[in-house]
Chain A
């Protein structure tokens, strides 16, 4: 007898839906083993990870704060990936958005600029992100350059540009040479929603983005084009859809959303521009996009879930002295299982009786 992976005749819709659930179930099972090996009570540990953070307003706010950039970026990425355009450089677009918006905040610092500053910063951030994302898109459409490589490499360019600016021209004169701008003025800061908490306007914007993404994909011709170009390029060509135009469009949208997320993060929770504003949001968002099955609502849930693991991971360090590495292992195995379970959508396991020839050949 032999276990083989066999291609399914058609995609299984049921499996497509439950595959992420199986992945989460397997992850939790693996996690329990890890906890047990570490000598921690698995149930108590799981409670700290997944239930405790949901039981008080503070942690819920923090989850929303952490999920906001992830969800915004992932929505944009999902459009790219659906259209078969592989934007891996959202991290760079995030940073460029942060830099472009911060430019205005730095320039208006200490002047009595009015409340137009923040909206203008957000527009600048989104525009810069879009333009930055168009570079790899244009290179792909015009010259056939791999957008995976070019968009990824532009991340480092953005990172170094930010680094240069905060170390040189934009450095806080009172900052003892530390690489940071001065704290932004109140008019250049994203307002918080709840007194004493960190939940900010950006989270509301993220919800709008999710809704807009759902409408675009589900209710508009453009959304239909995006899905057809990705799923059946030949059919799309016969249908007269312009794949190149869609590459440009999805890259621009995705860059704009990443840039917007960048400036919101800087003008919100951070409050000034400095290196290290992103603990890899642009890359984590790729996981969020796939975990959410490239579906806007799915992405919202996936973003919140991943944020929960960050907050829960910290609480596990505090309450149960579980090392941070376990949280990282956890996020890693989650992605591993998601990808593994995804193969079940297109393939299935089957037992077949192996030929005697193979058996004798074994020795």
Chain B
């Protein structure tokens, strides 16, 4: 017994010395993940970016991640554990980590934090997100062209502005093709729940929608669409293998360039707190290849993508009209201002549904 204790102590000691030596030459970078790394959606994309980061800067950094961290009382502890393990730059990759990240950031002013998709910042806490609504607009165009029924099925996670602006952008895109397009929305109140997502997809198809779009993270809806011989859009990651005949395109979260840039800044000592909201032009996200559609639709999608990336086309170009027929104040010149999109809390005209909580 004594001997085992000794051995354990020796290993511990060796471990400490070892990690001390590591800390001296390598920057420690930590990640907090919402789902399992194998969710094939949101968390998986962050994990791919982490791997790309290691590939690019592996000789200068050491990375660690904690997966499946619930957005409750455990999040603060998980983040603090990373700080205490010597991580100097920590990416917290879900909206619900906002308050815990801020709490830990205030406690450790010398550690830098990067919070994904939130709105609270501090001297040592940046935020980053992507303008997914741009991709949703393109999806709306494709959907309106490809839908025979003129009814889209939309699986929502939470009615937060990111998701609401996605629904609106989809409809604005679709309405340019078919002014009478309809959308049916089901909220599953989760980012990742394959069972509920599949049920929602089935319910939407049963209600007459012939195309599924989703703002949730698993490929379950894609599989259901594929089984029923319907078309669908992927989310977060490439989902074509779950619906080779179903996927039209998918919004791919490509965090790698941002992560590499921020870690390089940290290494160079030039990191500072920022708010980054990257669009198609910055490759903060990309569109998966346009598949299962005729060439003219594909061309239209590609042209629209180019127009948005070059800034010629803005999905929320004025006038934007709300559900109840009011014009939204045009604060950004000829399009809505970023703050209006970030806080979007209304449906645009043509959505025959009620925004939860309104």
Q: Are B66 and A269 in contact (CB under 8 A)?
A: no
Contact B8 A177 (CB under 8 A): no
A176 to B164, CA, bound (A): 11
A51 at the interface (CB under 8 A from B): yes
Chain B interface extent, by class: 35 or more
Q: How far is the CA of A41 from the CA of B345 in the complex (A)?
A: 53
Closest to A266 in B: B73
Give chain B residues whose Cβ lies under 8 Å from the Cβ of A277.
72-73
Given known contacts A177-B158, A178-B95, is B70 in contact with A47 (CB within 8 Å)? Answer: no
CA distance A66 to B77 in the complex (A): 10
Question: Is there a chain A Cβ closer than 8 Å to B4's Cβ?
Answer: yes
Query: Complex formed: what's the CA distance from A314 to B67 in Å?
Result: 9
* Interfacial chain B residues near A41, Cβ < 8 Å: 11
Complex Cα–Cα for A317 and B65 (A): 7
The segment from A134-142, A163-171, A245-253 that touches chain B is A163-171
A269 to B76, CA, bound (A): 9
Q: Tell me whether B276 is interfacial, beta carbon within 8 Å.
A: no
| Chain A contacts with B in 309-349, Cβ cutoff 8 A | 310-311, 314-315, 317-319, 321, 323-324
Other-chain residue from A171, A265, A275, A314 in contact with B77 (beta carbon distance below 8 A): A314
* Residues in A neighbouring B66, C-beta threshold 8 A: 314, 317-318, 324
User: In the complex, what distance in Å separates the CA atom of A38 from the CA atom of B158?
Assistant: 38
Is the pair B72, A276 in contact by a Cβ cutoff of 8 Å? Answer: yes
Contacts of B207 in A (CB 8 A): none
Give CA–CA (A64, B103) in the complex, Å.
20
The chain A residue sitting closest to B30, CB to CB, is A318
Q: Which residues of A contact B12 (CB under 8 A)?
A: 44, 47, 51-52
- Known A167-B356, A315-B81, A318-B81; judge A276-B70 contact (CB<8 A): yes
Chain A interface, number of residues (Cβ within 8 angstroms): 43
* Chain A, Cβ-Cβ closest to B162: A176
Residues from chain A with Cβ under 8 Å of B15 in the complex: 44, 319
Structural contact, B85 and A319, CB atoms closer than 8 A: yes
Residues of chain A lying within 8 A (CB to CB) of residue B30: 318
Q: Give B106-127 interface residues, CB cut-off 8 Å to A.
A: 107, 119
A108 within 8 A of B: no
Q: A176 touching B160 by the CB < 8 A rule?
A: yes
B-side contacts of A196, CB under 8 Å: 107
B contact residues around A62 at 8 Å (CB): 77
Residues of A within 8 A of B107 (CB): 196
17 further A-B contacts with Cβ under 8 Å, apart from A176-B161, A279-B74, A318-B64, are: A43-B4, A43-B7, A43-B8, A47-B8, A51-B12, A167-B189, A171-B357, A177-B160, A177-B164, A177-B356, A271-B99, A277-B73, A314-B66, A318-B30, A318-B82, A319-B19, A324-B36
